[in-house]
Structure 1
Amino acid sequence: MVLKVLVFLVLVLVSAVVVESQQPTFNDDVLGLIFFKAGLKDPTAKLQSWSADDNDPCNWMGVKCDPTTYRVTELHLDGLSLSGHVGRGLLRLPFLQVLSLSKNNLTGTINSELSRIGSLQVIDLSGNNLSGSIPDDFFTQCGSLRSISFARNNLTGELPASLSSCSTLVAVNFSSNQISGQLPSGIWYLRSLQSLDMSGNLLEGEIPEGIGNLYDLRRIKLGNNRFSGRLPGDIGSCSHLKSVDFSDNYLYGSLPDSMRKLGSCSSISLGGNSLRGQVPDWIGELTSLESLDLSANNFSGKVPSSLGNLQLLRELNLSMNQFTGALPESMANCYNLLAIDVSQNLLTGNVPSWMFKMGVQGALISGNKLMGNVESPSLASTVPSYQGLRMLDLSSNALSGEIPSNLGVLSSLLFFNMSRNHLFGSIPASIGELKATQVIDLSHNLLNGSIPSEIGGAVSLKELRLQRNFLSGKIPTQIVKCSSLTILILSRNNLSGSIPTAISNLSNLQYVDLSLNDFTGSLPKELANLSQLMFFNISHNHLHGELPLGGFFNTIPTSSVLGNPSLCGSVVNRSCPAVHPKPIVLNPNSSDSIGGSSPNHHRKKIVLSISALIAIGAAAFIVIGVVAITVLNIHVHSSMSRAPAALTLSGGEDFSCSPNNDPNYGKLVMFSGDADFVAGAHALLNKDCEIGRGGFGVVYRTILRDGRSVAIKKLTVSSLIKSQDEFEREVKRLGKIRHHNLVALEGYYWTPSLQLLIYEFVSNDSLYKHLHEPDRSCPSWRQRFNIILGMAKGLAYLHRMNVIHYNLKSTNVLIDCSGEPKVGDFGLARLLPTLDRCVLSSKIQSALGYMAPEFACKTVKITEKSDVYGFGVLVLEVITGKKPVEYMEDDVVVLCEMVRGALEDGKVEECVDGRLRSNFPTEEAVPVIKLGLICASQVPSNRPDMEEVVNILELIQCPSEGQEELE
């Protein structure tokens, strides 16, 4: 092959010297593509057909030629898993018009000479791993270039000023990179521009005036940047605009009047800014609108009635503003409306009846001041259009009256939330007709009566929240038919009776709260079989008997069983009374004699119970034991006077339960509590007690004398460990770190050849298992969000304490019994003599996909921003349910790139774990995904601090749900 290439080169050189032939040198294109291929890696052999033996490349994979001249005009190699760089061989294709290499793994920088291929019209390098900045001279001689896309790469730096000089450009897409700086002031002179997408970057400053010069502009996306100032006042001059997106910036001021001229616009997205004032009535003149998003701003005043003129409107989002008054009745004319979100405003009036007479699929009206009776007229009659309603959230208002008795008409409902209102009366039996509903939340109302047995008809139910009402009666056994149930919260009611054994058949249960009721009887022992259980609260009831043994109940917190004085078991530190059989009667004279018994002569019966016999035997045994122990103590005391006694670990190391100055013996230090182990030191490193392995060591479980379970990490880096003094100094420093989202370090053990770290034991497995093990039930959106927020808070605290984690991954995040995340294994790299990157990489090689790029660059300092990168990957892992790197049969999928691609294609919602279906709030999910991508930026300086991350998450969190605890 090399020889053939050399021959081609000779031929080309000869042809340049000899008189130029009038016939095209077909081999020029072949040679150029062969050179280009030489710079690529083709793991799936897609370019196998490319052969230097061919006279022309017109039958090669991805190649299109002019049918007359046989010269290459188009090259389409999208999504072929190609890696390598974009080589200079392409410069030998003088007739190339379309170059499309998107969705590959190409690396390196952008070659500025590409744009100088005179005939090139389209360049698409989106969805790769290109880095560096766009060359300053890239657009100075752009020839006939019309469309260019570098979207979803890792480009940095500022936009080149030469961009403004490429007058032929029709479409520009540099979205989802880390491009910074300002928009070039001359960008609005590209008179042919129809589509401009700079979203998902770090652009800042004010949007320059002059956009009105782009008379043919159809689509502009500048969302998710850092632009400030006002919306362009002359935007209305772009009369052909179809789509406008300035969302998630720092824009302020009111809507410019010129926007009323955008009569052709179908989508306007301005959410996530600081825009204020009233929404003008002229908004109703934009009759082509299909989507309008003004959410998360500071708009006030009434919702304009002119919205009723928007008959094509499909999606309306006015949430998180300060709108007042009632929703206008004129909106009944929006016949095509599918989704409306006006949550978190100051709206008053009744629930609008028109909302239920249309084909609306999602209605979110939570967090307002709506009043009135919800029974009439909203849901009072059977209307066919009800059958399309999938999400109804009327929570956190001031609604009163009874729940409509004909709920069954909402046959497609997936999410039903009427919590935090003033509803009274009973729960209608028709609730059992909601066969598709996954979430029912009627908590924080004034409901009474019993839980209807018909609840068993809601067979798809996953979450049932009825807490803080006045419900009475028993838990219906028919609830066992809700086999998908994961969350059951009935706390703070007047429920009574026993807890039905049927609950133990709900194998997917994760969170159960039955506290503050009047339940009696004993807990069914079968509850111990609920393998997914993370929280079970029965506090403040009248339960008695022994707690179930096994599973979650072995580690149930004391707070979850308080207020039941008749409960017994080790958790409540109250022994259960023995079950006594009837006494045995020992009376040889109890039967009549042959001659009959005398009525005046009764012999005294001798009655001894089995328990009495056992007690007598036990007393005798204790006496013997006391004597034996006394003898042994004398012997031990005599032995200790001769030499210190050492306990032996199964690993063969000496171990002492107190500091010992003798260097041949180990030193055990506990920062608090008992320094003794129930099973004895010999059992600490027993293979049967092993619960995990990581880059720094093996983890075992054992129990302290005071009853606490602990996790023991046996470090496997003994040859690299610091001296004893430095080791102890670092460990004690880590031991002072206490945060409810961090695994606490309880103590340590030291010998020159063996080091143990003693951690609190977290019982509910790792985040990795909850996300990826097939037999686990799917964590809900709320659980996932809380895990992300908890991890962020734990890391923020670590960084405040000047500790870098170095080893973030889902196996190092544990979930406690209440669903709270606890980040573990932090700071262990500081136990090594130097933070050598090779050592770190070898120790945490299992963290593939989480490690920040700077680990591979010796000139870049490892800082807290490296943790932020790992956190960003974790965020995407939690939301998508996918691993950071997944190996397919013929492909490797990198999670960050997959999500970036979906964001670019406008399909980011499809990245959310499919097991959640549509049961997640888009207004939370999309911003969290974007935050994860920002945290996982390639350039450390582009990543936010963890404190900023916490603040952003708390802002993202929906107030109606974010402040709601699982109680």
Structure 2
Amino acid sequence: MNQRKTASKERASGSCPVTYHSNIVTKAERKLSKMERLHLGVVCLLSLLFLLAESGTTTLNDDVLGLIVFKAGVQDPQSKLTSWNENDYDSCNWAGVRCDPKTNRVADLNLEGFALSGSLGRGLLRLQFLETLSLAMNNISGSLSPDFLRLESLWSLDLSGNNLSGTIPEGFFGQCRSIRDISLAKNALLGQIPPDVGSCSTLAALNLSSNQLSGSLPGEIWSLNALRSLDLSYNSLDGEIPGGISRMFNLRTVSLRGNRLTGQLPKDTGDCLLLKSLDMGENQLSGDIPESMSKLSTCSYLSLSSNSFSGEVPAWIGAMNALETLDLSGNRFSGEVPSSLSNLQFLKLLKLSENSFSGSVPDSLAGCRSLLAVDFSQNMLTGNLPSWVSESGFEQILLSGNKLDGPIAIPQVTDSTLQVLDLSDNAFSGKFPMEVSSLRSLKYLNLSFNSLSGSIPVSVGELKTLEVLDVSGNSLSGKIPLEVGLATSLKELRLEKNSLIGEIPIQIGSCPSLAYLDLSENNLTGPIPETLANLTSLQIVDFSGNELSGTIPKQLSDLPHLISFNISHNQLQGDLPIGNFFNKIPPSSVTNNPGLCGSVVNVSCPGVLPKPIVLDPSSSSPDSASNTLFSPSNVSHKKIILSISALIAIGAAAVIAVGVITITVLNLRVRAANSNSAVALVLSDEFSHSPATDAHSGKLVMFDGADPEFSAGSHAALNKDCELGRGGFGAVYKTVLRDGRSVAIKKLTVSSLVKSQEDFEREVKKLGKVQHPNLVALEGYYWTPSLQLLIYEFVSGGSLCNHLHECSASSALTWQERFDIILGVARSLAHLHEHKIIHYNLKSSNVLLDGSGEPKLGDYGLAKLLPMLDRYVLSSKIQSALGYMAPEFASRTVNITEKCDVYGFGVLVLEIMTGKTPVEYMEDDVVLLCDMVREALEGGRGEEFMDERLCGKFPVEETIPVMKLGLICTSQVPSNRPDMAEVVNILELIKCPQDSQEEELC
């Protein structure tokens, strides 16, 4: 009675009696939630019932009890076991359960693919009449119990496709009773195969494949006289294969593929006369093929691939007349291909690739009437193309990487089933075979790197099923046929390294599945066709090394899957498309196009030319002649009779117009300078006006109410000599106010996109009210419809970008200075976000340092001046911010939040700490700084990644947490990034940790 009370109390408190607590609860389960205690209580109760059942003190159905205990020990995320109810009298109607109708006891338990997790409990051992047990394709973990094979009725055990680990316990196979089928494949079992495996005398199938088993193959395994199937593939077994396989007279299939076995095949391998499948591929076996294998007259599958077998393939191979698959690829066989292969009338697949076969491809293979696929690639075969290549019946023929020569002669056929033809990397010559058009089932055609000449025949358009066409590395000439667009199944078109001329046909845009297009290193001219934008599957494009001209179609930016677009070494001009891949295109992909412009090639693009002056012919006022644009309502509608003098005047005007256009074109290069000069003249006249001046003058406003006039030198305010720098929103100039105070003037270069004057002034005044020690103060603005200026305080210390990337080691920022900059920028961003202002364009060049080294953040909130934020943010005007831009900027439906600034801040933190730029352009790749830092931290090399100019002078207890904080801020998921207010708190805690002995110093 006392024991019952104790057990009751223990169950009520969420613990189990000592006698069975260790079987259910681990030491880590001491602190449990209410649900966990409830679950544990159920487990404890069931375990207690289990023990009582074992002692004979209960009459509960053993099957129900065992299955409920098993259920309590696993997780069932898909609720597949909801029908398992402990109140049922029997379990015969439960999911996955089948009972013997005579005994009404569980005979089969099939829970394959139920997504169960957890460990194998003792409950299943109660199923004394269980015959088949399958828990395959779940996530069962833990070690393998030696007791499973104790079930006397069990003849099939399948635990494959789980996460079982540890070694196969000694005595596991020693428990064999009537077991016939064991599969432990696709787990994480390790260690050696126990020698007691030979104890399972009734075993007919053993599958231990795809584990981590090691050591040598135990010779006892050949004692399994009843074994018909043995699969030990894809483990780490080593050593030689022990002799004695001839004792396996019932053996049908053997696979030891993917191990580290050495030595020769056992000489008695061929004595397993019933063997139908033998796979020894991907090992380190060597020597000859044992002659005893000639007796395997029923063997249909033989693979010795990827080993080190040598010598000649014996002629007796033709005696294995049941072979359907013969794979000897990846060895060191030499000599000629045996003609006896023609005896293999059932042969479907023949692979002899990657050997050293010589001589010609035997014509006798035409006698293999069942042959579907032949692979002789990567040998030293010579001679002409065999005549049977185009015969009906073949589906795949691979002869690449040999020394075959002569013309590619393909007879006209009407019923060809050929799908794959690879004759690449040989010495074939002559014309491109026009007869390929008769191969109507062809999907893959590779004739690359031969010596073919002439043009590509228009008949390629008749290959409606063709998916890959590769004729690169030949001497083909002429134009790309327009009919290539008729091959609508094309996925890959490779014509590079030939002598093709003419334009890229627009018909290529009619191949909707095209993903790979390489026309590089030819003599192609003309533009890139806009129809490429129709190819939504396009991933890789290479037009490099041609003479293409014109601009790059802007529509290409809509290609969703593009990962490479190489147009280097051409004559292309203009700006690159905006958005998606083109925002991060590496410079190596566009180099050597003199006319290209944009941030990627570091060449400024010409702006929009000013509209021509239009004079009102109905006005005689001198003032009206200076107006730049008039409404059509001002024009006289009187009928005009053209006299001779009028015609002469019109002709003269036309000549003048042509002259104006010519001069405009010739002066494009000096347009910017002229524009600045013109602006300077406007400023000299208009800056002296107050906001109340007439409608044709500009409006200058200073937020502090000071005199809105500049010094006597203001006529040169926007002169090139006063320019401080250029950014995504415009150029910045330095000038001086009448009171002697220096200011910075930003001339916005996005005039065509700026909102109305009312909206502009509302946004600018909002920015002017935001005051913070770490923000560059906006002090005023100037407005005309064609010119907008922002007036900022002048910050004398230069940009953070210059201090990080242009300073020597002796003048490099110290760790304390870097930390103060990080904290200052964080505080400024937090202040902006508090006022519902998003920066949009955070980067090191927009962080300025004053004379004392205090950081001041500039260019904040300017994108709000534009009517279409997404159009501008994704434009080339801020491609200089590439690397700082959050992933959501690339979305078609841009959702810009404060978390975009957090991402840019994270990148800035890593840039400050490492001294590296946010994006590193390699020859064929683009590497992001955050990826490099993440890899360094994961490898424990965070300290090594700090700016080398610090010379190790930094506290690791600060740098590593700050580096990790930067990575957290660059999370791909916006919701995982902290708020800037949280970032500030974390940084202050890192610098001044609570309860620190140095707290007073902070």
**TM-score per shorter chain, which class?**
0.5 to 0.7
How many equivalent residue pairs? 728
1:140 to 159, 168, 174: 174
CA shift for structure 1 position 801: 12
Counterpart-to-counterpart distance in 2, 1:236 and 1:509? 52
Match of 1:711 in 2: 884
Counterpart-to-counterpart distance in 2, 1:702 and 1:550? 7
2:736 to 603, 616, 631: 631
Q: Deviations over 1:915-934 (max 9, x none)?
A: xxxxxxxxxxxxxxxxxxxx
Q: Is 1:573 matched up with 2:603?
A: yes
1:212 to 227, 230, 246: 246
Q: Deviations over 1:152-173 (max 9, x none)?
A: 1111121111112222221111
Aligned residue for 2:286, secondary structure, equals strand
Match of 1:760 in 2: 918
1:616/1:99 CA distance change after superposition, 3 Å: closer
Aligned residue for 1:319, secondary structure, equals coil
Aligned residue for 2:123, secondary structure, equals helix
1:799/1:833 CA distance change after superposition, 3 Å: closer
Amino acid at match of 1:430: S
Contact 2:425 2:448 in 1 (8 A): yes
CA shift for structure 1 position 532: 3.9
Match of 2:821 in 1: 666
2:678 to 613, 617, 628: 617
Q: Is 1:93 matched up with 2:127?
A: yes
Counterpart-to-counterpart distance in 2, 1:326 and 1:254? 23
Amino acid at match of 2:884: A
1:48/1:594 CA distance change after superposition, 3 Å: closer
Match of 1:249 in 2: 283
Match of 1:913 in 2: none
Aligned residue for 2:565, secondary structure, equals strand
Contact 1:713 1:756 in 2 (8 A): no
Aligned residue for 2:239, secondary structure, equals strand
CA shift for structure 1 position 679: 8.0
Q: Is 1:332 matched up with 2:362?
A: no
1:510 to 535, 539, 547: 539
Counterpart-to-counterpart distance in 1, 2:413 and 2:132? 57
Name stretches of at least 5 consecutive residues in structure 1 with no aligned partner: 17-24, 640-644, 690-699, 715-743, 765-785, 807-827, 848-967
1:633/1:335 CA distance change after superposition, 3 Å: farther
Match of 1:230 in 2: 264
Structure 1 length normalisation: TM-score?
0.65
The aligned runs of 1:41-56 (5 Å cut-off) are 41-56=75-90
Task: Name whichever of 755-764 and 424-433 sits farther off.
Answer: 755-764
1:757/1:425 CA distance change after superposition, 3 Å: same
Match of 1:952 in 2: none
CA shift for structure 1 position 359: 1.7
Match of 1:129 in 2: 163
2:441 to 404, 412, 419: 412
Counterpart-to-counterpart distance in 1, 2:586 and 2:307? 44
Aligned residue for 2:182, secondary structure, equals strand
The aligned runs of 1:511-590 (5 Å cut-off) are 511-544=540-573, 548=577, 552-553=581-582, 555-569=584-598, 571=601, 573=603, 575-576=605-606
Flag the structure with larger Rg.
2
Match of 2:412 in 1: 381
Amino acid at match of 2:528: I
CA shift for structure 1 position 73: 3.1
Task: Name whichever of 518-527 and 457-466 sits farther off.
Answer: 518-527
Counterpart-to-counterpart distance in 2, 1:142 and 1:60? 28
Counterpart-to-counterpart distance in 2, 1:68 and 1:192? 30
Aligned residue for 1:396, secondary structure, equals coil
Match of 1:879 in 2: none
Amino acid at match of 2:681: A
2:116 to 82, 87, 90: 82
Counterpart-to-counterpart distance in 1, 2:522 and 2:818? 62
CA shift for structure 1 position 617: 2.8
2:857 to 682, 686, 691: 682
Percentage of pairs with the same residue: 43
1:419/1:805 CA distance change after superposition, 3 Å: farther
1:482 to 490, 511, 518: 511
Contact 1:472 1:496 in 2 (8 A): yes
Contact 2:46 2:68 in 1 (8 A): no
1:565/1:577 CA distance change after superposition, 3 Å: farther
Contact 1:5 1:52 in 2 (8 A): no
1:91/1:632 CA distance change after superposition, 3 Å: same
Match of 1:341 in 2: 375
Counterpart-to-counterpart distance in 2, 1:268 and 1:55? 53
Amino acid at match of 1:760: P
Aligned residue for 1:392, secondary structure, equals strand
Match of 2:26 in 1: none
Contact 2:413 2:439 in 1 (8 A): no
Task: Answer 1 or 2: higher relative contact order, Cα 8 Å, separation at least 6.
Answer: 1
Compute the RMSD of aligned alpha carbons: 5.1
Amino acid at match of 2:359: G
The aligned runs of 1:453-472 (5 Å cut-off) are 453-472=482-501
Q: Is 1:495 matched up with 2:524?
A: yes
Amino acid at match of 2:529: P
Contact 2:53 2:60 in 1 (8 A): no
Aligned residue for 1:617, secondary structure, equals helix
Name stretches of at least 5 consecutive residues in structure 2 with no aligned partner: 1-41, 623-639, 665-670, 685-713, 719-733, 745-771, 778-796, 804-812, 825-841, 849-855, 865-872, 888-905, 944-955, 975-1002
Structure 2 length normalisation: TM-score?
0.63
Counterpart-to-counterpart distance in 2, 1:196 and 1:215? 13
1:353/1:798 CA distance change after superposition, 3 Å: farther
Q: Is 1:175 matched up with 2:236?
A: no
Match of 2:316 in 1: 282
Counterpart-to-counterpart distance in 2, 1:419 and 1:442? 4
Counterpart-to-counterpart distance in 2, 1:466 and 1:420? 11
Q: Is 1:360 matched up with 2:450?
A: no
CA shift for structure 1 position 518: 3.1
1:134/1:840 CA distance change after superposition, 3 Å: farther
Contact 2:552 2:577 in 1 (8 A): yes
Match of 1:767 in 2: none
Contact 2:441 2:465 in 1 (8 A): yes
Contact 2:569 2:591 in 1 (8 A): yes
Counterpart-to-counterpart distance in 1, 2:259 and 2:589? 46
Aligned residue for 1:203, secondary structure, equals strand
1:194/1:518 CA distance change after superposition, 3 Å: same
Q: Deviations over 1:104-161 (max 9, x none)?
A: 2222222212212223222111122222111101122312222211111111121111
Counterpart-to-counterpart distance in 2, 1:466 and 1:123? 55
CA shift for structure 1 position 575: 5.0
1:109 to 143, 147, 155: 143
The aligned runs of 1:65-80 (5 Å cut-off) are 65-80=99-114
Contact 1:675 1:705 in 2 (8 A): no
Q: Deviations over 1:571-601 (max 9, x none)?
A: 3626549869889899999x9999999x9xx
Contact 1:647 1:655 in 2 (8 A): no
Contact 1:648 1:655 in 2 (8 A): no
Contact 2:586 2:921 in 1 (8 A): no
1:109/1:649 CA distance change after superposition, 3 Å: farther
Match of 2:991 in 1: none
Aligned residue for 2:451, secondary structure, equals coil
1:429/1:3 CA distance change after superposition, 3 Å: closer
1:328/1:795 CA distance change after superposition, 3 Å: farther
Amino acid at match of 1:419: S
CA shift for structure 1 position 703: 11
Match of 1:428 in 2: 457
